[in-house]
Chains A and B, each alone.
Chain A
Amino acid sequence: MTKRRNLAPWLLVLPSALYLAVFFATPMAQSFALALQDSAGSWSLESVQLMLGDPDFGRAVSATLTLLVLVIPIQLALALAMAIVINKRLRGTSLWLYCYALPLAISELAAGIVWVSIFTQRGWLNSILQSLGILDRGVIWMSGESYWMLIGIIVVAEAWRATSIMMIILVAGLQSIPDEYLEAAEVYGASLWQRIRRVILPMLRPSLQVALILRVILAIQVFATAVALAGTGLTVMSQQALDWANDIDNDNVAAAWAGLMLVISLTATVGILWLLPVREEQRQ
């Protein structure tokens, strides 16, 4: 009898463990194996060396990491502000929630195309700025010659597109903070900023951890918005993986790129876990 009870949790975990093993662990292992073979199929570092020697290697890694470093803090601040607004349960909160969550329903590529129609030279942004008399002539936002402009517009598009996923996680976290803590802080005269820093942020740590890990991994995979808005003006890591797989037809180097992205993702995850440790009693 006791034996069977001990088996139950394992049986419950089994389907998802099988799913992960078949659809995640196996392809991941295969991908690493591909990356460590040459195109003839024998073990070698040739594919990794080809990746490192690619003239686009430095461009792709630096653009991806630059985007990550710029977009994550902006998204974190925005998501936190949005979550606090939602959590205030003001009149029309559910309308705000729908508006904020809208980008979640739009695919990355569709978002890229929407932002192209905004930022292109004869697009919405220039039209509005010109009709308001702010600009005489349209600015070329998507210029291949202006790296930081391209980075800037991708950050804007990514902030719009992917902040809501963080917000949803933070709203859930905020709602699990008992009102008594905030009321107590208010009674003792804490300002809004003090309540955020001393009460909300520490209590929110488990949600922040999840939101950051999820968002950093997605940022390392940035693809469609970058391709749509920057074209060949800059290149990102996932685009290199795709180019090597599709255009150059070398799956080994493509797998090396995928492996590199995985290693960076894992490192970032460990870094976030280390920077934002969650006490055992805070785990939900």
Chain B
Amino acid sequence: MPSSMGPRRRAVGLAMAVAIGASLTGGAALGQGGSVVMLSTQLAPEAEAQKMRDQILGGFAGSVDFVTADPGSVLIDTVRVEAQAGSGEVSLLGGLHGELSTLGAEGLLMDLSDVVADLDVSPGLLELGKLGTDQQLYIPWMQATYVMVARRDALEHLPAGADINALTWAQVTEWGANLQAATGERLLGFPAGADGLIHRFFQGFAYPAFTGGVNTHFADASGVAMWEWLKETWQYVNPQSTTYGFMQEPLLSGEVAVAWDHTARLIEALRTSPDDFVAFPVPAGPEGRAFMPVVAGLAIPATAPDPEGAKAVIRHLLDPATQGITLQQVSFFPVVTSEVQAELDAGTQAELDAVSAQISAADALPALLPIGLADQGGAYNDVFKSALAQIIVEGGDPATVLAGLAPTLQGIFDATGAPCWSPDPPSDGPCQVGTGG
């Protein structure tokens, strides 16, 4: 029997290739009339795509043709080609902030300001979707991010008067000191090992919280102040942090009592013993409660054949009920401020509460993933890891080390021409690294 399936499978494959080719060239009609074609780099793995079609879009009144695109340039190229042809098949796009911002900068996306009124998306995230313009070029769809997790028994050592949902980084230092005084151990933890995401801590949390930016304050006085804070705090950080990849493991073993990491790298601790751990929003610095959302958004290309249908899909996907189904089915967190209803395991629920508190905090300061660095993303991260190695591991003077690394960082911007991204103010040419600390 399997051999007789061969030709049919090939035929299906051929049909799919033709369909994708048609959508690329804006040629033959892809869907039936009334079906909204959505092209997405998100939920692209087949298992997730199926959940998107069956569960997440299941409750939508109209019909949606959910087409997935591999990460890379397919989504961007498709929209560009359709714009050149003057007409297209794709009505709705699902992509990461970086992908949509590239299209927005080329003027290929519609203004969605009229949809915003119907939604209750977190204002901070909505701002990201404006891409520095006064138009709403994409609507945030779903997100992942980084939060804090602590052992419940560490809460009794919080500084006096501290609110776990509104901590400051200075209070974390004090908390670490209290924990050390009480237990004799250094119980704060960061994922600073070879597989850890500590560079995101600097890019999306510490730098923006202390300086209000990242690159424009890299080596200036406020940047140096951030590193001085970390150096002081590190005396309460478990020195084995330089080997940690996923913080759920040292939290579970008890080596660490308070940790920062990606939600996906903390979830096992919260799921294994939900009674022993609490998840809470990241602390704030002098400039705000900075956090790095990994934001996926929805946008409508300027050539969309059915913008009204696409807007209806956007309203459906951002309905709190659909956001709950999305969280339950594919573990992406909601972007809406109202409470979502979904049956969740205790660990996911704990993370959800922390993420919700984080994005709706009054002083929330979203900081973006790097944009426009192309193949220099790794080199960019390496600058921050080098700073950590030289300042924390080797004990170097922050001002000297940062001044030494600033030219490398500037070289990356000059080579790629990448302008600054939020929360750094937009730049006309390549982003200029802040120095003079």
Contact = CB atoms under 8 A, between A and B. Distances in A.
B404 A230 contact: no
A248 B239 contact: no
Interface of B: 184-185, 192-194, 196, 238-244, 253-255, 375-376, 378-379, 381-382, 385-386, 388-390, 392-394, 404-405
Interface string A132-153: 0000010010111110000000
A120 B404 CA distance: 34
Nearest to B193: A231
Given A120-B253, A121-B255, A231 B239 contact: no
A144 B254 contact: no
Interface residues of A, number: 29
Contacts of A146: 239
Interface string A43-76: 0000000000001100100000000000000000
Interface in A231-254: 231-233, 235, 239, 243, 246-250
A144 B390 CA distance: 12
Main secondary structure of the interface of A (DSSP, over half): loop
A55 B244 CA distance: 22
Contact of B240 (A56, A120, A137): A120
Given A122-B253, A137-B184, A142 B378 contact: no
Contacts of A231: 192-194, 196, 242-244
A56 B386 contact: yes
Contacts of B241: 144
B255 A120 contact: yes
Given A232-B242, A243-B382, 13 more contacts: A56-B389, A121-B240, A142-B243, A145-B393, A146-B239, A227-B194, A231-B193, A232-B388, A233-B243, A233-B393, A235-B389, A247-B381, A249-B378
Contacts of A55: 386, 389-390, 404-405
Nearest to B379: A248
A249 B240 contact: no
A144 B243 contact: yes
A122 B379 contact: no
B253 A230 contact: no
A142 B382 contact: no
Main secondary structure of the interface of B (DSSP, over half): helix
Contacts of B393: 144-145, 232-233
Contacts of B386: 55-56
Nearest to B388: A232
Contacts of A122: 253-255
A137 B185 contact: yes
B379 A232 contact: no
Contacts of B385: 232
A146 B243 CA distance: 13
Contacts of A143: 239-240, 242
A122 to B, nearest CB: 4
Q: Tell which of A137, A228, A248, A249 has the most Cβ of chain B within 10 Å.
A: A248
A229 interface: yes
Contacts of A228: 243
B242 A230 contact: yes
The 3 closest A-B pairs by CB, nearest first: A144-B242, A231-B243, A231-B193
A249 B375 contact: yes
30 contacts: A59-B394, A116-B243, A120-B240, A120-B253, A121-B238, A121-B240, A121-B253, A122-B253, A122-B254, A122-B255, A137-B184, A140-B238, A140-B240, A144-B192, A144-B392, A144-B393, A231-B192, A231-B193, A231-B194, A232-B192, A232-B194, A232-B242, A232-B243, A233-B243, A247-B382, A248-B382, A249-B375, A249-B378, A249-B379, A250-B379
Nearest to B192: A232
